[in-house]
């Protein structure tokens, strides 16, 4: 079950755990919808309730949230159901209202993270408080922008900060509403190993039938938790109707998730994994040695071309190399795109090496 997931990583966040699932409607719409959803989520084992009060929407005619009118509804969930409550803030006024109402957790939406002025304004308004803040990735896949927003909050003295992967905007037909680019949150995890990294499968998916597979992928990758949209009556939701789950469906989904551990003390597993890893290490060494050898031969070719006054590139040679490599790779079940990327990089390095060989001595020649 999700509640055992990475709890130690949360450090100061422990007060929010377990479970590490933040769930609730995209938007707070009415007091009944908020309270009804929260009560059903609590029954499904959820401890942290989310609801958007101020909604950043693409079109001005869309429902833009109930604003501060909904704050007492969240306070009621907190008081009567004992749940932690969270909302999205996009400017200093939102922060002041949320802090004044005593909410437990705030998050920055994808459109806000993309705007350093807005993030700084929020960070300034948060100065001197210790409320936990989650930062969704910016709409565009810009790792530094995401890290920059986290850093602004950190500099404001907020020490309970988490990142949320909700996918990236892309143009054109796609299976999911937003493109998952898992390498970005994985890089965040590498650079900030103590910071919780959550996944928002709802905004990634865009459709409720895909939420489960994305949530499972997040578990497979060792994410620390999930932020999931849930509504008592998803079809009637005023925003993001297609991606919200009923609290019962959410409970069922969470119960079915396979949560993987980062490590185990099982000696059989350890022995086998160590053996496999030493084979991988040996192969990596061989790959590097072979690349060194290939580069040496490439330099010799460069020298030979120079002596014979031949250009570095010959029409058709690179296509032939690639064709041969891809055919051999296909026999080994290797992905063509993957091989092409690797060999393009090798080819470029090889051209650079030959260019150096060609130029070497020419400039010396000029000096003589």
99-138 residues in contact with Mn ion (CB under 5 A) are: none
The site partner of 166 among ligand PEP, Mn ion, none (C-beta below 5 to 8 Å per kind) is ligand PEP
* Residue 267 beta carbon to Mn ion: minimum distance, rounded to whole angstroms: 46
Indicate whether 203 belongs to the interface with ligand PEP (CB under 6 A): yes
Indicate whether 240 belongs to the interface with Mn ion (CB under 5 A): yes
* Residue 353 beta carbon to ligand PEP: minimum distance, rounded to whole angstroms: 45
Q: Three-class SS string for the chain?
A: CHHHCCHHHHHHHHHHCCCCEEEECCECCCHHHHHHHHHHHHHCCCCEEECECCCCCCCCCCCCCCHHHHHHHHHHHHHHHCCEEEEECCCHHHHHHHHHHCCCEEEECHHHHCCHHHHHHHHHHHCCCCCCEEEECCCCCCHHHHHHHHHHHHHCCCCCEEEEECCECCCCCCCCCCECCCHHHHHHHHHCCCCCEEECHHHHHCCHHHHHHHHHHHHHCCCCEEEEEECCCHHHCCCCHHHCECHHHHHHHHHHCCCCCCCCCCHHHHHHHHHHHHHHHHHHHHHHHHHHHHHHHHHHHHHHHHHCCCCCCCCCHHHHHHHHHHHHHHHCCCCHHHHHHHHHHHHHHHHHHHHHHHHCCHHHHHHC
110/147 with CB nearer Mn ion: 110
In the set 26, 89, 218, 232, which binds Mn ion (CB under 5 A)? 26
The site partner of 180 among Mn ion, ligand PEP, none (C-beta below 5 to 8 Å per kind) is none
The site partner of 9 among Mn ion, ligand PEP, none (C-beta below 5 to 8 Å per kind) is none
Q: Match 């090496």 to its residue by tokens.
A: 353
Indicate whether 110 belongs to the interface with ligand PEP (CB under 6 A): yes
Count of chain residues binding Mn ion (CB under 5 A): 2
* Residue 113 beta carbon to ligand PEP: minimum distance, rounded to whole angstroms: 8
In the set 20, 26, 133, 253, which binds ligand PEP (CB under 6 A)? 26
Indicate whether 52 belongs to the interface with ligand PEP (CB under 6 A): yes
26/195 with CB nearer Mn ion: 26
In the set 165, 166, 208, 353, which binds ligand PEP (CB under 6 A)? 166
Indicate whether 94 belongs to the interface with ligand PEP (CB under 6 A): no
The site partner of 353 among Mn ion, ligand PEP, none (C-beta below 5 to 8 Å per kind) is none
Which one of 236-244, 280-288, 322-330, 350-358 is the stretch in contact with Mn ion (CB under 5 A)? 236-244
Indicate whether 136 belongs to the interface with ligand PEP (CB under 6 A): yes
* Residue 200 beta carbon to ligand PEP: minimum distance, rounded to whole angstroms: 6
Give the C-alpha separation, 230 to 22, whole Å.
10
200/224 with CB nearer ligand PEP: 200
List residues near ligand PEP by CB under 6 A: 26, 52, 88, 109-110, 136, 166, 200, 203
């Amino acid at each position: 079950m999700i509640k055992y997931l990475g709890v130690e990583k949360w450090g100061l966040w422990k007060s929010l755990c377990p479970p590490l699932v933040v769930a609730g409607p995209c938007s707070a719409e009415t007091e009944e919808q908020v309270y009804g959803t929260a009560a059903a989520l609590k029954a499904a084992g959820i401890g942290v309730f989310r609801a958007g009060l101020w909604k950043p929407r693409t079109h001005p005619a869309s429902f833009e949230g109930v604003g501060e009118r909904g704050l007492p509804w969240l306070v009621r969930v907190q008081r009567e159901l004992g749940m932690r409550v969270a909302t999205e803030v996009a400017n200093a006024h939102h922060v002041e209202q949320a802090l004044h109402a005593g909410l437990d957790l705030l998050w920055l939406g994808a459109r806000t993270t993309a705007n350093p002025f807005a993030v700084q304004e929020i960070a300034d308004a948060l100065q001197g408080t210790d409320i936990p803040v989650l930062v969704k990735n910016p709409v565009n896949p810009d790792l530094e922008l995401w890290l920059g927003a986290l850093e602004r909050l950190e500099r404001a003295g907020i020490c309970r900060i988490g990142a949320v992967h909700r996918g990236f905007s892309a143009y054109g037909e796609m299976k999911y509403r937003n493109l998952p680019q898992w390498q970005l949150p994985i890089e965040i995890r590498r650079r900030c190993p103590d910071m919780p990294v959550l996944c928002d499968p709802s905004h990634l998916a865009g459709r409720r039938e895909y939420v489960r597979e994305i949530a499972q992928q997040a578990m497979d990758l060792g994410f620390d938790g999930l932020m999931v949209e849930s509504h008592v009556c998803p079809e009637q939701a005023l925003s993001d109707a297609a991606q919200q789950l009923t609290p019962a469906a959410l409970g069922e989904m969470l119960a079915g998730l396979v949560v993987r551990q980062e490590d185990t003390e099982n000696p059989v597993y350890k022995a086998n994994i160590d053996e496999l890893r030493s084979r991988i290490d040996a192969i990596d060494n061989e790959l590097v040695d072979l690349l060194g050898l290939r580069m040496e031969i490439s330099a010799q070719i460069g020298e030979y071309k120079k002596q014979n006054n031949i250009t570095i590139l010959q029409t058709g040679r690179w296509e032939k190399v690639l064709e041969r490599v891809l055919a051999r790779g296909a026999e080994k079940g290797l992905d063509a795109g993957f091989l092409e990327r690797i060999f393009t990089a090798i080819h470029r390095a090889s051209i650079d090496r030959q260019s150096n060989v060609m130029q070497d001595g020419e400039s010396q020649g000029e000096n003589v």
